Structure 1
Amino acid sequence: MKALRTVGLGLLLVATSALAVPAEDYARQWNLSLPVKDAGAYRVVLDESVYWQAQSPELADLDVLNGRGEPVPAVLRGPPREELARPTLLPVPWFALPQRAAAGDQDLSLISQRNVDGSVRAITAQVGQGPDRQTQGGWLVDASNVQGAVRALQLEWAPLSQPLQQRYRVEGSEDLRSWTTLAEDAPLLDLRQGGEHLRQSRIALSSGARYLRLVPVQAQASLPVTGVQVELAPAIIARQWQWQTLQGRAVTDDKGQVAFEYDARGRFPFQRVDLQMPDNSVQRWRLQSRERATDRWHDATPSWVAFELTLEGSVERSGPQALTGVKRDRQWRLLPTNGASTTPPPLRLGYVPEDVVFLAQGAGPFVLVAGSARAQRAPAPVGDLLSQVRQSRGADWEPPRAQLGQTHTLAGSDALIPASAPVDWKTWVLWGVLIGGAALVAVFAVSLLRKPALR
């Protein structure tokens, strides 16, 4: 009996350890290569093979495990939005203007000497009739060689012994004759008190111009400017779109309407659609999607016109269309809305890869696992953690990127079979007790009937 208890305990421990290894519930794993060992948090960008393996529409069957097979805190981040690059600052030539030339109500005529490229080499100011006011001279900024939209000026000046609080108007011109106000009453500050320093040296502009003129709003002390930079509007960082091309089949409904259906087996976060139309063709389309055959179709885009046209050897074609949101549906349907079409065009669905941010909890090596009908990633407030870290490290901070490495099968297709429903032992025990009790009552009743009646 003691040996039996020992064997039973051993089997129980083995079963418990098997349940503690969630890797057995996943179809495949990918080794993760960490760029540094002590970062604490990492991010890994998902590739096509991960999307092909995942089964859950929300990618809940995707997780990160440590070297002991234990899940670590992880979060799936959606496709990144289009971002703006950091603004570019470029030094530009600047020229001090005579004091009377800075008066806003005087007729200023600037005679400039220019280089071959159009940049200003020297200027001479002539002031027409107007109130005879002596003010601090302003500056003329030459932005004629700047490529791009100027959206602000950044001034530099020598250290000051007194607090600075001045106001300027910025005017723009394309020919040094006609001027337009680009900034009205812009403040410049340089204040110190109790070890604190407040400096405002940037002037935002409503638009750019080849030449910019800074005019003092009122009489004020001279500002020892040492340099001027123009700030260019940041460019949009284009997202790296990737595409899946699906081949369709023609389907005719009871009313004789032709549609083209496509199957997308992966769980890609589709956000765009593009059609490869035949040469010199045009068609209005409507795209729909659904998860399974028993679901209703839902519009994935408004109707749009797709075309391809060859003009004198140059091909003109319609561009990609945005979906109504991120779609991971399995089934897609393309409906021609203006006339019959019998050949299904290749359907291109575009997406931007997502990433998973995880914490390096426990010892490595760390692996990414995906594909399961039984296991799900546990929720973890990793997103809140990133927000708090960015407060100290800057809004642009990102965890270092881990790389997907070698992949191999874990449980394979067995992991895609849903787990059988657990046995409700409590219900079975209660029924057993009831049946046993009923049987006991029946036996007792029969025994009473068999006894001879007392006389």
Structure 2
Amino acid sequence: MSQKLGWLGAVALGVALSAVAQEKPADFATQVPLSVSGEGPWYRLELPLNVQLNARQTDLSDVRVFNAAGEPQAYALARESVQTSESRTQTDVKWFPLYSSADATERAPSVRVQSSANGTLVQVQPSTELEAGEEVLRGWLLDASGIKAPLQQLILDWTSERDGFQRFSIEASDDLQHWQSWGDGQVARLSFADERVEQHEVGLPGQSARYIRLLWSSPQTAPTLTSAQLESASSHSLPLPFVWSPPLAGSTVKAGEYTWQLPMGLNVERLQVELIQPNSLAPVTLSGRRDSSLPWQPISGGLLYRLTQNGQDVVQDQLQLPGQTVQQLKLTVDERGGGLGVEAPTVKFAVRATQLVFLARGAGPYTLALGSGTVRAANLPLSTLIPDYSAAKYAALGKATVDGGAVVTPVAPASVAAAAHTDWKKIGLWAVLLLSVLFLAVMAFSLLRKPAAKP
């Protein structure tokens, strides 16, 4: 009797194993060919945003990589830099005025500098003596020698007499002799509808420097600083860069209220609003939600503008978001500034880049597949996928790229039909398995109730 039950159990196990079929490329709605270069067997792929948007699961649980034989590859997803801890610090720094004569032709004033043994600035003076009344304030020199971490943001305050926009160039140096451009900066203080609107922060490129030089575009408008701070972050805390979406059209709900539907739930961190009309000024509030059944939640706000000054456009068209998952966005505009027009402006949104690392097994070419609402996550931690994992080893991985300029290839209808047929087959096999188990249970119950034969 025990042998018969063991044989029936083996049959049932075989049926169960055959029912759990391995995932195939045809199970996914989108397939993208990959090219690999560099030394394997691990390859790192930065997922283009237009490819990610073909996923059907917000957390990319339905992403897979297959080899030429259709075998799935082990993989990991990385949405943050190799080192993920972050420590940001705001530091008050000394600032020194940069003067030159009114008729000076040099872009940057020449100065004499006195510093301490550790490089801290003690005194900054013009290289030539200036007579009273002929000096012009060209800009400011900031002493960042006490900050060792990369600089992320500059925060300024200035005398209230100087309203309007303040534009300047930003340069960095370690020796006060050789200067590197860090782009342009802009701060603002505006009076609007009996309210005060101020912008004090300027983004920096995330590099280290001992000294920062700010040179005003129009020296006559250079304000007197009252405060200067630098925000720094440890180098190991830098996140992956942003990837931007194509322009997204929206809808007008009513005057001063616009909505946009994202292709899927995304962790949006930046929103760029197209400002077509010159001299647009709009205080705004941005709200978001996962779907239409949920209430709107405020997630950002600020002042958007496109103004013309001295023949140049001064533009602030981006909002910073906290990175929570949203699929619908709503912008509410204070129309006292003139609004943004009747038609909803187009927007672009930015998310953090996502990298996929896979272990190449079997022959290529390799294919990225995604687009399934039923499969479960199969990604591994990076430390499991790559033994003796380290930042140096991660940086040396081979690279994979999407072929054909990130052109996605939807699965043909016949393939989708085949996948659907396979799913019905699985259901049938599971039904056979359950009937077999039920048959075994009935059989065992009848044997146990049968009275023992008399000797």
TM-score (norm 1): 0.51
2:354 alignment partner in structure 1: 354
1:20 alignment partner in structure 2: 22
Map 1:284-433 onto structure 2 (within 5 A): 284-299=283-298, 301-325=299-323, 327=325, 329-337=326-334, 342-386=342-386, 388-390=388-390, 393=392, 397-406=395-404, 407-410=408-411, 414=416, 422=427, 425=431
Map 1:229-240 onto structure 2 (within 5 A): 239=241
SS of the counterpart of 2:308? strand
2:47 alignment partner in structure 1: 46
1:64-95 CA-to-partner distances (Å, cap 9, x unmatched) read: 11222122111121155999xxxxxxxxxxxx
Give me the identity figure in percent. 19
Q: Is the 8 A contact 2:55 2:372 kept in 1?
A: yes
Deviation, 1:426, is 8.6
Could you say if the C-alpha distance between residues 48 and 363 of structure 1 is closer, same or farther in structure 2, counting changes exceeding 3 Å? same
Q: Is the 8 A contact 1:27 1:410 kept in 2?
A: yes
Could you say if the C-alpha distance between residues 43 and 81 of structure 1 is closer, same or farther in structure 2, counting changes exceeding 3 Å? closer
Q: Is the 8 A contact 2:271 2:350 kept in 1?
A: yes
Q: Distance in 2 between the 1:258 and 1:174 partners?
A: 52
Q: Is the 8 A contact 1:51 1:268 kept in 2?
A: no
Could you say if the C-alpha distance between residues 175 and 279 of structure 1 is closer, same or farther in structure 2, counting changes exceeding 3 Å? closer
SS of the counterpart of 2:388? helix
1:25-84 CA-to-partner distances (Å, cap 9, x unmatched) read: 111212221113x5221111112431231111111111111222122111121155999x
Residue identity matched to 1:361 = R
2:55 equivalent to 1:57: no
Q: Distance in 2 between the 1:243 and 1:298 partners?
A: 23
Deviation, 1:352, is 4.1
Deviation, 1:364, is 2.3
Q: Is the 8 A contact 2:242 2:350 kept in 1?
A: no
SS of the counterpart of 2:364? coil
Deviation, 1:311, is 2.1
Q: Could you list the runs of 5+ residues in structure 1 that have no partner in the other structure?
A: 1-8, 84-143, 153-167, 184-206, 212-230, 437-455
Map 1:40-439 onto structure 2 (within 5 A): 40-78=41-79, 80=81, 239=241, 241-252=243-254, 259-265=257-263, 269-277=267-275, 278-299=277-298, 301-325=299-323, 327=325, 329-337=326-334, 342-386=342-386, 388-390=388-390, 393=392, 397-406=395-404, 407-410=408-411, 414=416, 422=427, 425=431
SS of the counterpart of 1:60? coil
1:342-364 CA-to-partner distances (Å, cap 9, x unmatched) read: 43222221234322111112332
Q: Distance in 1 between the 2:55 and 2:431 partners?
A: 33
Could you say if the C-alpha distance between residues 80 and 289 of structure 1 is closer, same or farther in structure 2, counting changes exceeding 3 Å? farther
Could you say if the C-alpha distance between residues 428 and 290 of structure 1 is closer, same or farther in structure 2, counting changes exceeding 3 Å? same
Q: Is the 8 A contact 2:250 2:260 kept in 1?
A: yes
Deviation, 1:398, is 4.1
1:187 alignment partner in structure 2: none
Q: Is the 8 A contact 2:259 2:329 kept in 1?
A: yes
Could you say if the C-alpha distance between residues 275 and 82 of structure 1 is closer, same or farther in structure 2, counting changes exceeding 3 Å? farther
Deviation, 1:318, is 1.2
Could you say if the C-alpha distance between residues 386 and 16 of structure 1 is closer, same or farther in structure 2, counting changes exceeding 3 Å? closer
Deviation, 1:389, is 2.9
Could you say if the C-alpha distance between residues 429 and 145 of structure 1 is closer, same or farther in structure 2, counting changes exceeding 3 Å? farther
Q: Is the 8 A contact 1:55 1:267 kept in 2?
A: no
Q: Distance in 2 between the 1:417 and 1:268 partners?
A: 28
Could you say if the C-alpha distance between residues 57 and 382 of structure 1 is closer, same or farther in structure 2, counting changes exceeding 3 Å? same
SS of the counterpart of 2:52? helix
Q: Distance in 1 between the 2:18 and 2:434 partners?
A: 24
Could you say if the C-alpha distance between residues 387 and 174 of structure 1 is closer, same or farther in structure 2, counting changes exceeding 3 Å? farther
Residue identity matched to 1:322 = Q
Could you say if the C-alpha distance between residues 383 and 306 of structure 1 is closer, same or farther in structure 2, counting changes exceeding 3 Å? farther
Q: Distance in 1 between the 2:387 and 2:308 partners?
A: 50
2:217 alignment partner in structure 1: none
1:352-399 CA-to-partner distances (Å, cap 9, x unmatched) read: 4322111112332221111112324413122455583327x46x7342
Q: Is the 8 A contact 1:45 1:355 kept in 2?
A: yes
Deviation, 1:410, is 2.6
Q: How many residues align?
A: 293
Q: Distance in 2 between the 1:383 and 1:82 partners?
A: 12
Could you say if the C-alpha distance between residues 243 and 40 of structure 1 is closer, same or farther in structure 2, counting changes exceeding 3 Å? same
1:89-119 CA-to-partner distances (Å, cap 9, x unmatched) read: xxxxxxxxxxxxxxxxxxxxxxxxxxxxxxx
Q: Is the 8 A contact 1:264 1:330 kept in 2?
A: yes
Deviation, 1:264, is 1.9
Could you say if the C-alpha distance between residues 32 and 377 of structure 1 is closer, same or farther in structure 2, counting changes exceeding 3 Å? farther
1:270-306 CA-to-partner distances (Å, cap 9, x unmatched) read: 320121223212222222223333233333x322111
Q: Distance in 2 between the 1:74 and 1:68 partners?
A: 17
